[in-house]
Amino acid sequence: MKPLIMTLLMCCAGISAQAYALSFSKDYEGCMRKAGSHSESIRTCQIKELKVQNKRLKKVYKLTAKTANPAEQALIKQSKAQWHQQRGNACQTAGKKIKAYNGFNSSCALQMTVSHADMMEVRLNNKIMK
């Protein structure tokens, strides 16, 4: 029952994230259009985009740490590690290499990463604007 609930929540989150997130790359949008309903092509697109989004998130974390005081930097490092662990647990990716992700793993990890990067960017921009 628990995996079913998690899957439903991830689907709902994915639909709402796709409706509002503007942070997917243009390459990803084109790749998904070409993939149509072919699941292996969709997975390939998701894995490529996940790599892009992982780089984006890493950059945002770096900029966030740069604008933080030393005490905040330690918290940022800790929260980053916790978030990666949460994503690994939720998406069942802990200990897996990206190329080994199945459709659920890649979709889940991509949605969580895009959402987290969006949130981190908003926080960073709000902090800079103050």
Could you write out the three-class secondary structure of 44-60?
Answer: HHHHHHHHHHHHHHHHH
Give residue 125's pLDDT.
87
What pLDDT does residue 128 have? 77
Is 75 a residue whose pLDDT tops 80? yes
Q: What mean pLDDT is reported for the chain?
A: 86
Q: Where are the domains of the chain?
A: 2-129
Q: Look at residue 47 in the predicted model and tell me its pLDDT.
A: 97
Residue 2 clears pLDDT 80, i.e. is over it: no
Share of the chain above pLDDT 90, in %: 74
Prediction pTM value: 0.79
Q: Kindly report, residue by residue over 17-66, the tens digit of the pLDDT.
A: 443 445 899 999 999 999 999 999 999 999 999 999 999 999 999 999 99
- CA 69 remoteness from chain centre: 26
Taking 50 as the threshold, does the pLDDT of residue 84 lie above it? yes
Distance CA 64, CA 125 (A): 9
